[in-house]
Amino acid sequence: MIKKKISKILVPLDGSKNSIRGLEMAITLARNCRATITGIYSIYAPPHSEFKGVGSVEKDLNIQVKKFMGEAKTLAAKNGIVFNEKIARGEIGYNIIKLAQGKNKFDMIVIGSRGRSSTKEMFFGSISNYVIHTSKIPVVIVK
């Protein structure tokens, strides 16, 4: 008999096709396990930046993020899944791990294999690679 029940799934989202595939896989798993999904959209923000960003650019980004998260919530709701959203700023991989292992205690992370930052991956390693090597809970990588 399986003792570990999957009741809370964390899905990192960035608007890419792979993150949407990750969400779709999480919805399938959530339906089978009767779990809830929390989508996290983490916006990279360097720790100290002389350039704080132009207000209109940041405002536009916030609008895009909220729109995408709304679409993700709608997709989950159409499939009968409760979807919670979290938007964070800072180091993306760190934010994902911090939320996954924080007070909410997620049972699993479902993440797309590649997001929007494919050029950065060549030099620094992908976010999904960071997550699988630092997470203390199961991680499902979706291609």
pLDDT at 121 over 50: no
Identify whether the C-beta of residue 142 lies closer than 8 Å to the C-beta of residue 22: yes
Full-model pTM: 0.87
- Where do the structural domains in the chain lie, given as residue ranges? 8-142
Residue 14 has pLDDT above 60, yes or no: yes
Confidence label for 4 from pLDDT (cuts 50, 70 and 90):
confident
Q: Which CATH superfamily is domain 8-142 in?
A: HUPs (3.40.50.620)
Question: 33 falls in which pLDDT band (50, 70, 90)?
Answer: very high
